[in-house]
Structure 1
Amino acid sequence: MLKMKRRYIFQVNVDLFSMQIVDHFIYRSDGRDESESQLPNNNPKTGRGRSKQTPLWDSGVKLQVHLTSDGRIDGPDRAKFKTQLGVLARNSIKFPLTCKSFKKIGDGTKDDIWRNIKENTTLPDEAKSIVFEDINAKWKQGKYRLKRKNYLPYEDDNKRMEELEKDCVPPDQVKSIIDQWNSPKTQVIVIMKKYCFFFFLTCKIIRKFNR
């Protein structure tokens, strides 16, 4: 059960990894300078705005969801529950964007979130680890989407700060997250991931043609 769920989380991480590689080439290797990257968009997209939670959440009515034998969340209210998990994952007060790893988020915070989930769903305690794996994946996705949209297209940190604040990132986290993304250590990790990705991709292609 947990093995299948972990396989899903691994696939999410691989997908995010692929997005990072594509963005690296779009924004760093196509020869565009800062002025080109900051050209106005004729079809601008608005920021995420305030996340709207499921209407039934905290209403006293529990969402009907359960844990299947193969480790998935299912039930009549599955879609509403998944939406609510996305809302929780984007709560940058509970889950700060400045955290480098989901594991570093305090147990007290996670216990509060789980208590809230238990009050609003019919899930058993056995679902806790699976639910938090899902929140972790959504948190990573949201964090990287912010980087892709509001950091990578720009070279100027002031512009990056402005764009992140427009996207509802708390002002006290904006500078820290930019400093984190700017750090040499992070840049080295990105480069290492890029070459690892192409190594595994090449191996996969070779295996395919050797069959």
Structure 2
Amino acid sequence: MPATALTIDARWHELQQQRDPGWELGAITERSEAIAFLRRFENRLCIYCRYVEKLYGNYSFVVPQDERGGITILADDSARHETFHDIPAAAVEPTGVHILPGEAVGETGLYLKVPGEFRLVASRELPFQDGLRLLIERYRARGEHFLPVLVKGDLREFEARMPSLHLHRINTRKLAHGAQPSIDAIRGTIAEHLLGLFQRG
């Protein structure tokens, strides 16, 4: 295994050892509070744009003052090493997993609502780290990677159904190029940005 792949695997192992992000979010009752919640994930969850078939690691949310205006994405052109091209829409799959403020389930911090592995199994609300660990292990058991991303189109849904964020994932088996260095770079970038969720003050 190349050294770069070993380093990337180490980052994913580090992710699994983190403690839950200690965010005191408070009740989210207004659009401005929901947008503030969303901004906490800016540059910490990679975001996919179907229209241009690109995955961005560095970007900004642009939120219009007018409540009828939609949230847009401004990519950081200087971070070309964290912009991935030619990612087909078929490779970006819904997971059914939602990020919630703990207050939505009577708790504090961040939570993940994780669907049951089988159709008749109920979903579970888990502290963020427990949910992330479960998902990494669940996908690993299938011989796959859990590579969570946001999808630009879901931001409109976010405003309509505050305050959860739906996660998609990159299915590396469906990447057209399939080049291992590119897959490793995507894995590394997603892990690095996810770690930022735990390292913020």
On whether the aligned pair clears a TM of 0.5, the verdict is no
**TM-score, normalization by structure 1:** 0.28
Of the two, which has the highest radius of gyration? 1
Richer in helix (by share):
1
**TM-score, normalization by structure 2:** 0.29
